[in-house]
Amino acid sequence: MDYKVLAENIINHVGGKENINDAFHCQTRLRLVLKDESIVHDEDVEKITGVLKVIKSAGQYQIVIGNQVEYVFEELLKMVDIRPNQQQNELVEETNIKSKLNFSSLLKWLSAFFTPLIPAMFGAGLLKSIMTILVTTQLVSTDSSTYAVLNFMSDATFYFLPFLLSVTVAEQLKCNKYLALTMAGIILHPTFTEMVATASADGSMIQYFGLPISPITYSSSVVPIILSVILLCYVEKAIHRFSPKSLEFFIKPILCILIVGSITLLVLGPIGFYIGEVLAWIVGALGETVGWLPPLIIGFTTPVLVMFGAHYAFTPLVVNYFSTFGYDAMVFPAMFASNIAQGGATLAVALKTKNLELKQLSVTTGISCLLGITEPAMYGVELQLKKPFLAALIGGGLSGLYMGITGVRCFAMGSPSLLSIPAFIGANTYYFFIHGCIALAIAFVSSFVIAYITGFEDKAS
């Protein structure tokens, strides 16, 4: 693939470089913010060699390319000046305002808060898995100082999650991230933590100018810091708007700390904490009553959710699962199953087709599914042939059902792929690992067999 030619074709078909306000990318999609989407013909863009699909969502013109999107993006940057002028800024701001009213956009904002943290959470989870291996093989004792050090190293990411989230939320909302970090520092300060422990132990009250502060521990919490930084964003803007410019440098920091810090401790912190508690209660109730159902549904519907961008809704829930329980027994295992199932269905196409071009595409995209990237296979093979897509849905559902019945857990959050299988190791047992591997085998074999037997309309060579 000639990335330069592809980038040129995309620019020409979206109205030229003067119609592009901004450009960025994710793992598989080139995401453009256009001045005027109405002048772009989607069907012409989709006909470009190297383009799999066009998706319009959250004020973005998203072009699905696949694993090579980074290289296409680099070539596009050489041809397009994406540093907006004043007029473009107004257009982007108008687009952002409109997109904030869009539910799909809200999901993407939430995902943007958490996605940068995945490497740290994945590393922490895998360290827990390594600790399980060390303990079960009796190489390390749970009473040893070595175990204690490894334990707090693996816990650090989630314990200080409010600090990490304060940065990502502040970056997305364009407010001062150092003041945002200060908000995290307020709710995690050792003195406050000690006051909470004392109040919880003897039933005393923490008073702030006569107002009661709930004795809540905010380590590993998610929602409180998000609410706090959102408030910080509005307070910052209000101070900037109304304070004398000559005094803003002195006024803004102290007012932000006093106003946002106080409201966080008195109101937003408790609200966010109890939101998290309700989510944890719902998860626990589902696990005790119909624990087999959520993995079945998610395993079956994940490809459809990805098509509409709705899978972003699960990101904050999964993070809350990990920070509360230390594992996820619903969403991440089921997405594991779905990715492997799509790989099985696509590789079945590769084995059965007589079209050399389709065979090559199916092999590369099928392997990509097994490594956690499914969109090239989904748009380039499965949806084109239809029956393999249904086979992938069924395989993901069957695997998710098995995971739900056996209670499979993932102890690390990352890209669901064969490379992430150690995420099933945890809680000082190999039970989840064994059944997780069985479930993935079910996903691959069932989708492969169904896709191969049901067949498809083979493209002419």
CA dihedral sign of residues 437, 29, 77, 114: negative
The pLDDT value given to residue 103? 55
- Give the separation between CA 404 and CA 290, rounded to whole angstroms: 9
pLDDT of residue 114: 83
- Cβ atoms within 10 Å, residue 141: 11
Comparing CA positions, the residue from 176, 174, 192 lying closest to residue 254 is 176
Residue 319: predicted pLDDT: 84
Residues 6 or more apart whose CB falls under 8 angstroms from that of 85 comprise: none
Distance separating alpha carbons of residues 188 and 194, to the nearest angstrom: 10
Cα separation, 67 vs 70, whole angstroms? 7
The reported pLDDT for the residue numbered 94 is: 39
- The predicted pLDDT at position 100 comes to 46
Res 389: pLDDT: 96
CA distance 126 to 425: 8
Q: pLDDT digit of tens for each residue in the chain (461 aa)?
A: 789 999 999 999 999 999 998 888 877 889 898 999 999 999 999 999 999 889 887 678 999 998 788 899 999 999 987 654 333 333 334 344 344 445 556 666 777 788 788 888 888 888 888 888 898 888 999 899 999 999 999 999 989 999 999 999 999 888 999 999 999 999 999 999 999 999 999 988 999 999 999 999 999 888 999 999 999 999 999 998 888 888 888 899 999 999 999 999 999 999 999 988 887 788 778 878 888 999 999 999 999 988 876 777 787 778 878 888 889 999 999 999 999 999 999 999 999 999 998 999 899 999 999 988 898 899 889 998 999 999 999 999 999 999 999 999 999 887 788 988 999 999 889 999 999 999 999 999 999 999 999 999 886 65
